[in-house]
Amino acid sequence: MAEGVRARQRDQTRATLLREGRRLFAAHGYAAVGLAEIVRAAGVTKGALYHHFSGKPDLFRAVLGQVQQEVADRVAGAADRRDDPWDRFTAGCREFLTAATDPDRQRVMLVDGPAVLGWTEWRSLDEAASGRHLAEALAELVRTGVISRQPVAPLAHLLSGAMNEAALWLAGSTGPADLADTWAALSRMLDALRAADPAGRAG
């Protein structure tokens, strides 16, 4: 068998394991899903799974990374459709809340992620994805004077924590207006960051 064909088969097997693992983790939660169920759904052997992943935690880590990157891409896409720096920032924040609370993502990203990998590793993955976009947006706003000059890192961590907590609450909420109400509350928090112009109005 040609090496190119084998490489495509390996890639396809890995993609199938990720897809089925994600589907099962999202539907049932990490603890309730066994390796036997994953390989059966993927139509492969346990040996094939171990060729790509060291075990269930490693597969989950890859699924979580995929989910977080999807959210980060949606945040960046929403921001890039706006021209004004403040509009880019707020559009990205709003998209994060919407994308992170999608049922296909919320359990993997917000509930099982910190529990399975531990807070430190989960936070590191979050910072590398959506957190990076948040810090970059804040840095631009500070640089252009829209937000008063201040260290970006602590502000980014505070806002990230608030949005992750809001998304986690939304994941367990049932009210039809909860997302809109949460965004309204977050918008008021964000507006308070804006620097005042010389006339004393928010910038």
Domains in the chain, start-ordered, CATH in brackets?
Answer: 1-53 (1.10.10), 56-195 (1.10.357.10)
Q: Give pLDDT, residue 140.
A: 95
What average pLDDT does this structure show over 58-75? Answer: 94
Q: What are phi and psi of 37, to 5 degrees?
A: -65, -40
Least-confidence region, from 1-5, 62-66, 164-168: 1-5
In the 3-class helix/strand/coil scheme, how is the chain assigned residue by residue? CCHHHHHHHHHHHHHHHHHHHHHHHHHHCHHHCCHHHHHHHHCCCHHHHHHHCCCHHHHHHHHHHHHHHHHHHHHHHHHHCCCCHHHHHHHHHHHHHHHHCCHHHHHHHHHHHHHHHCHHHHHHHHHHHHHHHHHHHHHHHHHCCCECCCCHHHHHHHHHHHHHHHHHHHHCCCCCCHHHHHHHHHHHHHHCCECECCCCCEC
Q: pTM, whole model, 2 decimals?
A: 0.86
The more confident residue out of 51 and 130 is 51
The per-residue pLDDT for range 139-188, each reduced to its tens digit, is 999 999 999 999 999 999 999 999 999 988 887 888 889 999 999 999 99
Q: Is 199 exposed, middle or buried (0-12, 13-18, 19+ CB in 10 A)?
A: exposed
* Residue 199 confidence (pLDDT) above 70: no
Q: Give pLDDT, residue 200.
A: 40
* Residue 3 confidence (pLDDT) above 80: no
In the 3-class helix/strand/coil scheme, how is 37-92 assigned residue by residue? HHHHHHCCCHHHHHHHCCCHHHHHHHHHHHHHHHHHHHHHHHHHCCCCHHHHHHHH
What average pLDDT does this structure show over 5-23? Answer: 93
Question: With contact defined as beta carbons under 8 Å apart, do 116 and 30 qualify?
Answer: yes
Q: Give pLDDT, residue 170.
A: 87
